[in-house]
Chain A
Amino acid sequence: MLQKQLFNLANATQARSTLPLIISITQEHERTLAYAILEKHPHPLRGIALPQHLVPTPIPTFISYVRIYVDDLTTIPLLLTSLTLKKRLLEVFVPIKALQHTPALLKICEQAHRIVIELKEPLGLKEQQNTLNSSFFKSPFYNQLYTQFILMSRYPLFHTAPFCSIPPEHCYEFFDQANTIIPPKPSACNGCLFTQHCPLDVHSGTGKNFTPNPITKNQTYNDALIFLNRESTNQESPQKQESRHQEKTTPENTTKKNENTPARF
């Protein structure tokens, strides 16, 4: 996907005019100011990212991108219908918890152009084994989810999945490095080719119980690394830049990237 700047309201004025701008909204009163900033932003791809319960209808037509963090799957179809415009991209982040018993429920979101399954929150003790362990992508549950994506003709995307839990190219962060904070990695990740790109955080959410399985096959992933290493860091979100400054500089958590190559992609 094309590189975007995902900023909160406080930092949105720092956005580069030549790149898409998405403003993250967490409270209702932020919408008005976000709209004011976005209306002046010159890039045609400009939008908002917000929880479902904060999504207003209608949304101004100059908003060409809406990311919805789903909190009620049953009302999503009506919401998406009301937001649909020819020149607008709709993206939904669906918590995996909403799909745990019925992966086919994913179809409810089919009006969205992009569907991302969010793995940030734990399912529960019993289901924990089905998510975020090193053989998640071999599990029937993952396969059922993947099948649903294929049936809906949607590219499979998962958010907050360690790169060793599913094919890296199914990780949303694979395509969104500029907005992805790379946490320090445990020693269990030593030798992994993707430590500087993977979102695994062993201190939060389902990452707490995750057992890494370092990816070491350079031959298989050499081209993936070429792709990732050409992402530009001079378009990092302020949050990410701040996060990098706060990290201790150790070999485990150094996030060196090529800062010279601008890329739209």
Chain B
Amino acid sequence: MKILLLAFSVQQDVFPLGLHYLKGYATKYHPDVDIQIQEFSFGNRVSYETNKNLEIQALAYLALEKPDIVAFSCYIWSGEMIRDFVRSIKRLHPTMKIILGGVEVSEHLLTPDVEFIIRQEGEIAFKECIDYWKGTISKEQVHNVVYLNQQKSPQQRQENPSIELENLDEIPFPYSTNSTNSTIDERYNVVRLETARGCLFDCHFCHYAKPTLRYFSLEYLHKNIPLLFQNYSFENLTVLDANFNSNKERMFIILDIIEQQVKKRQETKNPTNTKPLKLHCEMRPELMDESTIKKLENYSFKIDIELGLQSTDPVVLKEINRPTHIGKVAAALQMLSASRKLTYKIDLMYGLPGDTFYKFLNSARFLLTHATKQHKLVAHHSMLLNNTTLFEKKTVERYSETHSSMIIKTPTQDVVELYKTKLFIDLLNKELEIIKER
């Protein structure tokens, strides 16, 4: 059996972590199955491309590789094109089986061309799909999947029970080997590390909190993080945890492991592996304090911290279920702005339920007043993501019926006001750009 794990990405030098998780876990139970990973990158494609060169390239690759099964990871940028791509595969290879998954997969993609849609976590589900095709379990026993029951007429949607990995340590570390012939894989400028899944909070616009909050053990990380540095050369390490500083003690243990590896890398003076490291992570600003900042500054690598704020308005924050202590956020920004070493990015979102242009202005003012090291107003047009509480509430309209996409109307804002907000942000940032550059 030959399986291709496929994704369309926007950046080709980012390690495809999710696909490697699926491959690693499935290979543990099915070492006889040939599982390959291939990504195709949109790169700088920003305009509508009539010729679909990337899609044709991917179809040509499939025709040559001839996998028995193709499994797609769906993201915001690929969700819309996957349906047509799947259809094309089936027209060219009617017997090729197709699985769809990923955080942005939508049931609207469930057509007779698709064998399974994997919802939620994919490791167990993907492994059990292989069990099913090997004949060791029935279709009904595959967890976390939705499919069309072909034996009924008309075909009926079937949803199987859900399951989560209780122990994340069961997932083989995705960087424990590299697939190149050389000692060190240099293909990726950005690698990602997960030390936890899920989130303490449950913001309605986000799906981080959908899986139960679980942690990879410190033993697992102690053992495996060195393998990342041993096998890969990279400049950027992104820790994917939603709130990396929610447990400070644990955070510093992990950073200490990374520091050890960075120093070791510098000592070996391997010319292919001496790139200075920049670590990116997400933190909760209210949990910041002076001692944390001092400790973070002591690491030899650069640390860039992403802080989500979204809004300062209490009505909006209540609507999106995001408890925020504005005073502590202001204090955190003051401390971070005074740090000579740490850099940060703090974002707003506009178009959230309950939001108005005036509320946004007040949030923007807060950022300009307190985030003095950030010479730009970073504000995102809110997206209504599939598989979120906000999506289930159905109080806002978005651009696409089926795909995670921009909000175009809320009970308090229309599309003109939303676009106008974007224009205002552009206007403000033009001035800030001048101040920064001079």
Contacts and interface: CB of A to CB of B under 8 A. Distances in A.
Interface of A: 1-2, 43-45, 64-65, 86-89, 113-114, 149-150, 153-156, 169, 221, 223-224, 226-227, 230, 263-265
A156 B417 CA distance: 11
A114 B438 contact: no
B364 interface: yes
B365 A265 contact: yes
B434 A169 contact: no
20 contacts: A1-B431, A2-B432, A44-B435, A44-B438, A45-B434, A45-B435, A64-B438, A113-B427, A150-B419, A154-B423, A155-B426, A169-B357, A223-B313, A223-B359, A223-B362, A224-B361, A227-B358, A227-B361, A265-B364, A265-B368
Interface residues of B, number: 26
Contact of A87 (B358, B416, B437): B437
A43 B438 CA distance: 9
A2 B428 contact: yes
A263 B423 CA distance: 21
B434 A89 contact: yes
Contacts of B420: 155-156
Interface string B398-438: 00000000000000000010011001101110111011011
Most buried by A among B313, B361, B416, B434: B434
B356 interface: yes
Given A45-B438, A155-B420, A263-B369, 8 more contacts: A1-B431, A2-B368, A44-B437, A45-B431, A113-B427, A223-B361, A226-B362, A264-B369
A169 B368 contact: no
Nearest to B364: A265
Contacts of A224: 358, 361
A230 B365 contact: yes
Contacts, number: 74
A65 B432 CA distance: 12
B434 A223 contact: no
Contacts of B438: 44-45, 64, 87
B369 A44 contact: no
Contacts of A45: 431, 434-435, 438
Contacts of A226: 358, 362
- Interface secondary structure of A, over-half rule: loop
Nearest to A168: B358
B434 A155 contact: no
Contacts of A264: 368-369
Contact of A223 (B356, B426, B437): B356
B423 A153 contact: yes
Given A155-B423, A265-B368, A89 B430 contact: yes
B360 to A, nearest CB: 9
Most buried by B among A113, A155, A264: A155
B427 A114 contact: yes
Q: What 9 pairs across the A-B complex have the smallest Cβ distances? A: A44-B438, A223-B358, A155-B423, A224-B358, A265-B365, A265-B368, A155-B427, A44-B435, A227-B361
B315 to A, nearest CB: 9
Contacts of B432: 2
Nearest to B377: A265
Nearest to A90: B430
Contacts of B430: 89, 113-114
Contacts of A88: 434
A65 B362 CA distance: 25
Contacts of B364: 265
Contacts of A64: 434, 438
Nearest to A225: B358
A153 B365 CA distance: 22
A18 to B, nearest CB: 12
A89 B431 contact: yes
Most buried by B among A64, A150, A223: A223
Contacts of B416: 150
